[in-house]
């Protein structure tokens, strides 16, 4: 490790704050069957890490030869890879973190969302993170910036899933 290696370090994935399922539902503005929550608690994601995680998702898929939408590599694959890669990073970072260990069994507040984009006739899947700034959405297929969701798109959500 060099003297200036701290300059290239990526931000920590989680903030250290634990979100209960009520916090998650409030942040997403949803209740009922559209929101599938697999755990009782989630680790809040650091907003500074969301774009980098989505870029790492795209980069891993591109190295595997998946560099565009294909019939066997749809948006669902990109969204699920975002969640999986974030989970791998979280568990690697949190394994030795006393705060996370004392919180019990939790998952990172990363998920995928299926919705109908404005003007589209078909659905689309992207990733999201619950951060200290609220819910942030990102499309790992074009991960260079967060993806704002319109009120119509949020209303047209047919499923949100947090493992």
Q: What is the pLDDT of residue 126?
A: 95
Query: 3-state SS string over 75-120?
Result: HHHHHHHHHHHHHHHHHHHHCCCHHHHHCCCCEECEEEEEECCCCC
Q: What is the pLDDT of residue 32?
A: 53
Q: What is the pLDDT of residue 5?
A: 44
The string of pLDDT tens digits covering residues 133-147 is: 999 999 999 999 999
Is 127's pLDDT higher than 80?
A: yes
Strands (E), the chain: 14-20, 35-37, 41-45, 107-108, 110-115, 124-131, 134-138, 159-162
Q: What is the pLDDT of residue 6?
A: 47
What is the rounded average pLDDT of the residues 52-73?
Answer: 87
Q: Smallest Cα–Cα separation from 35: which of 114, 149, 147, 123?
A: 114
The string of pLDDT tens digits covering residues 70-126 is: 777 889 999 999 999 999 999 888 877 766 666 666 889 999 999 989 988 889 999
Q: How crowded is residue 11: how many other Cβ atoms within 10 Å of its Cβ? A: 13
Domain ranges (residues) in the chain = 14-162
Q: Which CATH architecture has domain 14-162?
A: 2-Layer Sandwich (3.30)
Q: What is the chain's mean pLDDT, rounded?
A: 85
Q: Smallest Cα–Cα separation from 82: which of 27, 139, 121, 33?
A: 139
Least reliable range by pLDDT among 3-7, 25-29, 105-109, 154-158: 3-7
- Predicted model pTM: 0.87
């Amino acid at each position: 490790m060099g003297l200036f290696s701290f300059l290239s370090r990526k931000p920590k994935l989680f903030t250290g704050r634990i979100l209960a399922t009520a916090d998650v539902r409030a942040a997403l503005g949803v209740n009922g069957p559209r929101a599938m929550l697999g755990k009782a608690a989630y680790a809040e994601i650091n907003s500074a890490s969301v774009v980098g995680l989505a870029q790492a998702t795209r980069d891993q898929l591109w190295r595997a030869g998946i560099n565009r939408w294909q019939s066997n590599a749809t948006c669902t694959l990109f969204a699920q890879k975002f969640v999986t890669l974030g989970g791998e990073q979280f568990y690697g970072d949190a394994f030795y973190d006393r705060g996370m260990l004392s919180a019990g069994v939790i998952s990172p507040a990363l998920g995928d969302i299926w919705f109908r984009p404005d003007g589209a006739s078909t659905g689309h899947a992207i990733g999201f993170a619950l951060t200290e700034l609220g819910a942030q959405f990102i499309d790992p297929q074009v991960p260079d910036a967060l993806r704002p969701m319109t009120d119509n798109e949020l209303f047209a959500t047919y499923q949100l899933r947090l493992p």
